[in-house]
Amino acid sequence: MRQGIATAHIHDYARAQLGVRIATRLARDGMDAGVAAYGKLAAGTYDPIRARIGLEIGGPESLLWEQGDTAGMRTTLDYLNGRIQSIAGGTNEMQRNAVGERALGLPREPSFDTNRPFSEVLKASRNWNGQVG
């Protein structure tokens, strides 16, 4: 139990410090989607971990609460909604691409559909031979 609490505390502290750094950089340099993606990626990665830790510490009883006890339902709702951040507004994989391409300056991933209109992408993917370019 102590290890779980320590892990959650470390994640909370790291996310808070990351938030300060992101806010400072955005205030200094203006809006940058690559930098903002760091915060979204952190939420999508750590929210499910923290929710699982809460459920492990609370045990099966943490899934129950008295009617009208909004604080009591927090652990369950955090667990059930833990994956929202990793999907809504762009998956964790999309955020990693944004960080890599925009913040770190890495080249874009190769793609067979780069120069195709979206309406042709699914049709072309059915006949894709594995070659890129």
Taking only the tens place, the pLDDT of each residue in 4-58 is: 999 999 999 999 999 999 999 889 988 887 888 888 899 889 989 999 998 899 8
Residue with tokens 């959650």: 8
Residue 65 to residue 63: CA distance in whole angstroms: 7
113 has a pLDDT exceeding 80: no
User: Would 75 be classed as within a structural domain?
Assistant: yes
Q: Structural domain tally of the chain?
A: 1
Residue 28 within any structural domain of the chain: yes
The residue ranking higher by pLDDT, 104 or 129, is 104
What gap in Å lies between CA 50 and CA 29, rounded to an integer? Answer: 31
Model pTM score: 0.69
Q: Report if residue 132 sits inside a domain.
A: no
For residue 64, tell me if it sits in a domain: yes
Is residue 131 in a domain? Answer: no
Beta-carbon contacts of 31 under 8 Å, excluding residues fewer than 6 positions away, are none
pLDDT at 20: 95
What pLDDT score does 2 carry?
94
Where residue 132 falls among pLDDT bands split at 50, 70, 90?
A: low
d(CA 40, CA 96) in angstroms, rounded, equals: 10
Structural domain harbouring 89: 2-126
- Residues 75-107: pLDDT tens digits? 888 888 888 878 887 888 888 888 888 888 899
pLDDT at 133: 54
Residue 114, domain CATH: 1.20.140.10
User: Has residue 9 been placed in a domain?
Assistant: yes
